[in-house]
Structure 1
Amino acid sequence: MNPKAHQPDSLPAPGPSALAQSEALVAQLRAELDDAGGWLSFERYMERALYAPGLGYYSGGARKFGLRGDDGSDFVTAPELSPLFATTLARPLAEALQASGTRDVMEFGAGTGKLAAGLLIALEALGTEFDSYAIVDLSGELRERQRETIEAAAPTLAAKVRWLDALPERFEGVVIGNEVLDAMPVRLFAFHAGAWHERGVVSRDGVFAFEDRAVSAADDLTLLSEIDTDTANDDYVTETHEAARAFTRTICTMLARGAAFFIDYGFPRHEYYHAQRAQGTLMCHYRHRAHGDPFLYPGLQDITAHVEFTGIAEAGVETGADLLGFTSQARFLLNAGITEALSEIDPSDTKRFLPAANAVQKLLSEAEMGELFKVIAFSRGLDDTLQAFSSGDRSHTL
C-alpha cells in the first residue's frame, strides 16, 4: 500500500521504524482481505488496526498519550490534563468501596499510569483501605510505562498493583474505565438507494478503500430501525457497537459486588442516531490532529467512535446489574468535589494555581470535555446512589 495515497499534507510522516511497523500490519491486512474474498467488515479492519498483536495501535509500541504532537503522542486524556481528575474520581470510588464492603480496584486501559497513580495516592489520603489495584492493558509498552509512573509517584503503594492477562470469573470491588469504550471496534452502515448497506474495506490498486454491501437477512438492524430514513440525508452513515456492548456485559457479569464506572464521549441513542448526524462519529487521531481517514498509517493512529450510551446501559442491565447513574462529566466531577479540590491550591501560588484552574476549566466546560464526556456506572449490592450522581442524573434520557 502506498501510504502517501492517504497522507494529508498537513500531517507529519512517521519515521522509518514506525512506517515499517505499519507496512507489516498492512501486509497482514492484505492477506486477510484475500482470504476473505476481497472484502472485510470495517469492524474487523478496526480491530486489527488497533489490536493486532505487536502491530496494532494499542498493542504496538507507539506513544499515544501526551500533551503535544511534537512529543510523539496523538491525544490527551483527562488524567494527563490534571491530577485533580484522579483526586476527584477517587471520592466516588472510595464511596462505592465502602458501600459495597469491598477492597479491590480494577482499571481497564490504564494509559500512562497517571490515573492509577493518582487514584492510589488519593484513596490512601481519603483513608480508604484497599487490598489490590489490578490493571488490564493489552500493550506491553504501556504496561512498562504504567509500572514506571506508579513506582515514581506512589512507591509505597506500588506493591498493591498487579497486571492481569485474563479476567477473573468473579470480581468484588470497583471497576474503572476511562476512554475505553470508544476504542472498541464498530460496524459501519450506510443508507442509500432505499436500503441499508454494511460498509467494509477493500483494496483498490493497492490502497484500502470503503465499499458497501447490502446487508444480509440475518443482520439484526433493530437499532438502525430507529433512524428516520425519510428525513436522513442521502448516504447517511452511522455505527453500531456490538463489541462495546459485549464488553459491558462481560464486566457486569464478572462484577459480583461493587460498582463499574465508564467515562467516555458520546450520546444517548436518540441523540446518537439523529437523522441530522448524517456522517456518523468515526474519527481518527494522529499527532493531536483529528481527521476522518482510518486508512492512514494503519497501526500508527487511533481510530475511535463516540459511545452510544443507551446500548451500554441496556447491556449492563441485561446481566442483572443496576444502573447506578448516568450524567455529564462536568456534573459528575462537580458533585464529587473537584472545585473543592482546586480550592486547596493557594491562588497566590500562580505557577500552580493557574495551570490547575485552566485544566479544571477544560474538564468542566461545555465547549471542552464537560458536556461531550459522560459517566455511566453499574452496581451490585449498593443500596443507595453515590454523591457523584446526587444531582443532574440523566438516566431517564437513555
Structure 2
Amino acid sequence: MQFSIPFSGRAHLYTDEEIALVAATARESVPLTQGYYLNAFESAFKIYTGAKHAFAVSNATAALEMAAQLCLFQPGDEVIVPAHTFTASAYPFVKQGARIVWADFHPATRVITADTIAACLTARTKAIVVVHLYGYGADMPAIMALARQHGLLVIEDAAQALGVRIQEHHAGTFGDFGAFSFHSHKNLSTLGEGGMLTVQEDGIAALIPMLRHNGHCGFADQREDYWIPAMGNVDLPEWRGYSLMPNNVCLGEVECALGAKLLERADRINREKRERALAVIAALSDIPELTFHCVTNERHNYHLLVARIAHGWRDAFIRTMANQHRIQCIVQYCPLYRYPLYRKLGFGAATCPNTDDFFDNMVSFPFHHALLPQDLETIVSATRGTIETLRTQ
C-alpha cells in the first residue's frame, strides 16, 4: 500500500552547512575512523549532557552490549527490564547470562517506576534497565534511591531520550551506564546509525577504548623501534578480576563530525517536536477515545507520538486511517515476553497488566521532525474523521 504520510521517514533533515561538513570530512579526514572528530563528538556530548565519560559507538545496542559485559553477571543473577520496549533493551543482558525479570510500567507515563521495579526485586537482582521510552524521562531520582538501597547497577536506555532532562539533569547520566542512539528515526541521527555509551566510573572508562576496538592498546614501555614486537598491542580488557572479550563497534569520523555539529541544534529539534506534539494533542483533546501523555517541559522530547485508544478500537482505527486516508499509523513495542525469542529462552512469563492493556490498545502516529505543518493538520483531520466513523459502527 502506498501511503501519503508513511510512518517511517527521515527523523530530521540536514542543513546545507551540515551536508557541507559531511562532504568535507569525507574528502579530507585522515583517518576516517578513530580520529579528531571522534574526540570532538565525545567532548561535545559530555558538555551537552553533563556526562562524566562518553564514548561514541556504532549504535545504542553496542553501548548496551558493553554495559552488559561490564555488569559481570554470574549464574542466577537477575536483571529487571521493562517489558514494553525495543528488544535491544533486553537481549544484550541475556547474552551475558542474566535472567530477565519483566517490569510493568505506570499507565500514565508508560515508563517503569521505583514502585514497579520494587515489585520485581528478589535476592538475585543485580541490575535494572530503565528505558526512557517515547522520549519521556523516568523518575531517576526515585529509581536511583531504590537501586542504591539494594546495591544494584543501573543501566539507562536513553536511546530515545537525547535532550531529555529530569530535575535539570540529563537522562542517561544518572545510572552507572547510559546508552544513546543516533539511528535514522531518532531526534538526532548520524547518517542513519550511531550511538554513545556514558559511564560514571573512572576505572570502567579506562577500559572502554579497548573494549570498543578489538582489544587494541599501547605497549607499556617506550620502544626504540616502533614496529617491534608489533605496531600495537592486543589484550583482554579486565574488570574486577574478569577478562572481557573485546568488540569492534567504532563510529566513523564522518558520523562523529556530523553528530558534534547536530548537538548545536538538538534542543531546538526537541522543542519544535514538543510544540508540534502538544498542538496535535490540544487539537484532539475533545476526543475521549484517545489518551495522550501530555508533558510541556524538557522531560519529554516527543521522539514518538502515541496514544491509548478506546478498548477494541485499535485495529479498526489503524485500518481506516490506512485505507481511507493513506496515513500509516502503527503499533509499537509488543511486550517482549510475547516474542518467540524470549519464550524460547525461558522468559515468556510475566505479570504486566498495564503493558498488556496499553499495547493491545495503542496507536503510534507518524511524527518525525521532517513532517510539514500541513501533514500534521492532515493527521489531525483524518483522526477526527476516523473516530467519528468508528463511533457509528
| Alignment TM class, shorter chain as reference | under 0.3
The answer to which structure has the higher strand fraction is 1
Q: Scaled by the length of structure 2, what TM-score is found?
A: 0.27
Tell me which of the two structures has the higher relative contact order, counting C-alpha pairs closer than 8 angstroms and 6 or more residues apart: 2
Q: Scaled by the length of structure 1, what TM-score is found?
A: 0.26
